[in-house]
Structure 1
């Protein structure tokens, strides 16, 4: 039997009520452990510091959904929770991450001149978040 992670083709992204669609790549999802000094009971407290997440895809009609989320952030100045679901070629979910306190850090979209090949254009969305709340292996349609 194949490793289900090897079948991942896209990353379906939802932030709050905003379905941002599927991205081709996901980079940087993780956290860093920061050790603190020993406390009175001899234990070393740990702090988990999340990393930045970068999602990329070719610009499409789904790009508008990112801008709708940005408009919400601008108007409400609030962080939302998110789920990123890795899906296989047949559309079934493989792995799902739940992130708390997501905010945009950087977005870039269309940036080529009309004479250049639009197939080379890439939309990039970089997120920051407060914590990874959960990670689960799943096997269902998204």
Structure 2
């Protein structure tokens, strides 16, 4: 048996600075890539040296059913248009028991894209919204 619960049915809570943006039901793109520079050394023919240069962080895409929390996203987007400020963000994964499993503290969060639902009365799916954010990296990851 594992000593930690697995995220079977998760929620993802996002806050920017001290402002909650709400809970999301889907999260994609949380990750990073180490960029490397290849260098060949004269006389060493069996390998090439891989030298780390920087970490590049991918954008995070969050989605959820449309609801009252949509106003929180819209208020944040409006503030960014009038006075863009990159603030730290916190992304918390909640397990089925609604307790925190993992928390990422993100540096310099900025909204990149918001998309609303395509509304169709003949669909039985809930209307969903999607928020894409960029960030400068992970300040801290806690379990």
RMSD: 2.1
How far is 1:87 from its partner? Answer: 0.5
Secondary structure in 2 aligned to 1:120?
Answer: coil
Secondary structure in 2 aligned to 1:98?
Answer: strand
- In 1, the alpha carbon distance for the partners of 2:8 and 2:111 equals 28
Q: Which runs of 5+ in 1 are unaligned?
A: 138-142
Runs of 4+ in structure 1 displaced over 6 angstroms?
Answer: none
- In 2, the alpha carbon distance for the partners of 1:106 and 1:64 equals 15
Summarize the Cα distance change of 1:72–1:29 in structure 2 as closer, same or farther, 3 Å threshold.
Answer: same
How far is 1:24 from its partner? Answer: 0.2
How far is 1:9 from its partner? Answer: 1.4
Larger Rg: 2
- In 2, the alpha carbon distance for the partners of 1:14 and 1:69 equals 10
- Check if 1:51 corresponds to 2:58: yes
User: In structure 2, what is the equivalent of residue 75 of structure 1?
Assistant: 82
| Deviating more after overlay: 17-26 vs 7-16 | 7-16
Secondary structure in 1 aligned to 2:66?
Answer: coil
Q: How many residue pairs were aligned? A: 133
The answer to whether the 8 Å contact 1:112/1:118 transfers is no
User: In structure 2, what is the equivalent of residue 22 of structure 1?
Assistant: 23
How far is 1:118 from its partner? Answer: 6.6
More helix by share: 1
User: In structure 2, what is the equivalent of residue 10 of structure 1?
Assistant: 11
Q: Which runs of 5+ in 2 are unaligned?
A: 40-48
